[in-house]
A and B are shown apart, each in its own frame.
Chain A
């Protein structure tokens, strides 16, 4: 098998030109998906027989909560890739991803609290999944703070990669430990192996929201990575040519 593409991935220049055309379509597709899914979910999907209309926040809550976790996983993998193969693109990805992940974790927390008030009668409970999303938010903030504190880019790259890998290894342990404390949250909405228990007219818009959110985040992160690449490589000739030709 030819591994050339894998090594090329490490080069910011290659990545920049390869993904230049992707960011906008992905982002727009994500926006459209989100709008369609949200309108469908909020206006047309049937109300829950137990929770009434308050369940509709699920169309925001579940996509961000799932993505906040999987994005942290991606950060850890990127950190590992950087420590092992020294790929320059990995720390750029981490730097672009971390704030997006932090915001998603925050939205998951806030929307969860808003959902919790009518359903459980309280804004906050120390339930396993809430606590683990809160910890996830702290982990994201730690990465961002470390990135901001270190001025030397070489050191900052290494440092965020190390802390992402440590986080990736620790996240399952943290999740397991908070599960040992009692859990109140409803079971997972989506699992890959089982058919969802909701009727299709309820979960279909959720699926649309979910996919829309993925595209939205992918587009956003690629965008952020591209501007980060331009900043980091601003001394090279290809950036100068690119800016001369196409503007900023």
Chain B
């Protein structure tokens, strides 16, 4: 196994399992529509809340997409093969996360114009929302992957991953919604974006190693 052949087969697998991604995206849209129907459909409520609603829904959808990431690899013995391949386990984890991120985030971004229109998000904050997504979601995937790696040996691990990982997602949600609110109010928002980027970089350094430790412990 080489890094390239690993990445190629990961993309192939994601393509063959595209229904999973579609499900996560549908889930995302449905959660978003709960708010206008469940709370209030007036523009006065939705416009200021839009950024927060979209982010909360996205966090849940990403959680769903990441939670079972290693389950199949664990069952069919691929995790063992990663460990014995002689390749660096953190890099394999990182490659898998990158593949998964690309496959989920691109359609998610593509749906953003429709959703922000449905929630009356102002044009100015729309681009900030996109930027917070590009800068913030990598850390969501990278942190989530630790939870997925820790619970890979459990049959029913989804709820546990949520409980473990959602608290760590709070800063990302807070920084993102603050950036969008600041943009709404016409204030500078580069500080919050920088914080998001910093979080993503920090998790880029730490999380592959943590996930690798967890995977190695689970594979045995």
Please tell me whether chains A and B touch each other in their complex, using a CB distance cut-off of 8 A: yes
Q: A146 contacts B150, CB within 8 Å?
A: yes
Q: A174 contacts B214, CB within 8 Å?
A: no
- Report whether over half of chain A's contact residues are helix, strand or loop; otherwise say mixed: helix
Residue tally, chain A, CB below 8 Å to B: 29
Given A149-B151, A152-B153, CB of A166 within 8 Å of CB of B167: no
Q: Is A110 an interface residue (CB 8 A)?
A: no
Chain A hits for B218, CB < 8 A: 155
Given A149-B154, A162-B146, A162-B150, CB of A177 within 8 Å of CB of B213: no
Q: A154 contacts B210, CB within 8 Å?
A: no
In the complex, what distance in Å separates the CA atom of A173 from the CA atom of B170?
A: 9
In the complex, what distance in Å separates the CA atom of A149 from the CA atom of B153?
A: 10
Residue among A146, A158, A167 making CB contact with B160, cutoff 8 Å? A146
| Min C-beta distance of B182 to chain A, whole Å | 11
Residue among A138, A158, A167 making CB contact with B214, cutoff 8 Å? A158
In the complex, what distance in Å separates the CA atom of A163 from the CA atom of B218?
A: 14
Q: B217 contacts A155, CB within 8 Å?
A: yes
Q: B163 contacts A142, CB within 8 Å?
A: yes
B-contacting residues, A135-150, CB 8 Å: 135, 138-139, 141-142, 145-146, 149-150
In the complex, what distance in Å separates the CA atom of A158 from the CA atom of B210?
A: 10
Q: Is A165 an interface residue (CB 8 A)?
A: yes
Chain A hits for B175, CB < 8 A: 177, 180
Q: A166 contacts B168, CB within 8 Å?
A: yes
Residue among A146, A154, A159, A169 making CB contact with B206, cutoff 8 Å? A169
Q: Is B164 an interface residue (CB 8 A)?
A: yes
Residue among A135, A150, A162 making CB contact with B167, cutoff 8 Å? A135
In the complex, what distance in Å separates the CA atom of A56 from the CA atom of B200?
A: 43
In the complex, what distance in Å separates the CA atom of A165 from the CA atom of B210?
A: 9
In the complex, what distance in Å separates the CA atom of A167 from the CA atom of B79?
A: 25
Task: Across the interface, name the chain A residue whose C-beta is closest to B175.
Answer: A177
- Report whether over half of chain B's contact residues are helix, strand or loop; otherwise say mixed: helix
Residue among B157, B160, B220 making CB contact with A154, cutoff 8 Å? B220
Q: Is A19 an interface residue (CB 8 A)?
A: no
- Could you mark each residue 202-213 of chain B with 1 if its beta carbon is under 8 Å from any beta carbon of chain A, else 0? 100011001001
Residue among B163, B170, B206 making CB contact with A177, cutoff 8 Å? B170
Residue among A145, A174, A180 making CB contact with B163, cutoff 8 Å? A145
In the complex, what distance in Å separates the CA atom of A139 from the CA atom of B214?
A: 18
Chain B hits for A139, CB < 8 A: 167
| Min C-beta distance of A78 to chain B, whole Å | 15
In the complex, what distance in Å separates the CA atom of A173 from the CA atom of B196?
A: 11
In the complex, what distance in Å separates the CA atom of A163 from the CA atom of B174?
A: 22
Q: Is A176 an interface residue (CB 8 A)?
A: yes
Chain B hits for A154, CB < 8 A: 217, 220
A-contacting residues, B156-176, CB 8 Å: 157, 160, 163-164, 166-168, 170-171, 174-175
Q: Is A83 an interface residue (CB 8 A)?
A: yes
- Could you mark each residue 25-51 of chain A with 1 if its beta carbon is under 8 Å from any beta carbon of chain B, else 0? 000000000000000000000000000
Task: Across the interface, name the chain A residue whose C-beta is closest to B191.
Answer: A180
Chain A hits for B207, CB < 8 A: 166
Q: Is A9 an interface residue (CB 8 A)?
A: no
In the complex, what distance in Å separates the CA atom of A86 from the CA atom of B175?
A: 36
Q: Is A243 an interface residue (CB 8 A)?
A: no
Known: A145-B164, A155-B218, A167-B168. 18 other contacts (CB 8 A): A83-B213, A135-B167, A138-B166, A139-B167, A142-B164, A146-B150, A146-B160, A146-B164, A149-B154, A150-B153, A155-B220, A159-B214, A163-B164, A169-B206, A173-B171, A173-B199, A174-B170, A177-B171
Q: Would you list 18 pairs from A and B whose C-beta atoms are within 8 A, ordered by A residue?
A: A138-B167, A142-B167, A149-B151, A152-B153, A154-B220, A155-B217, A159-B150, A159-B214, A159-B217, A162-B210, A173-B171, A174-B168, A177-B170, A177-B175, A178-B174, A180-B174, A180-B178, A181-B174
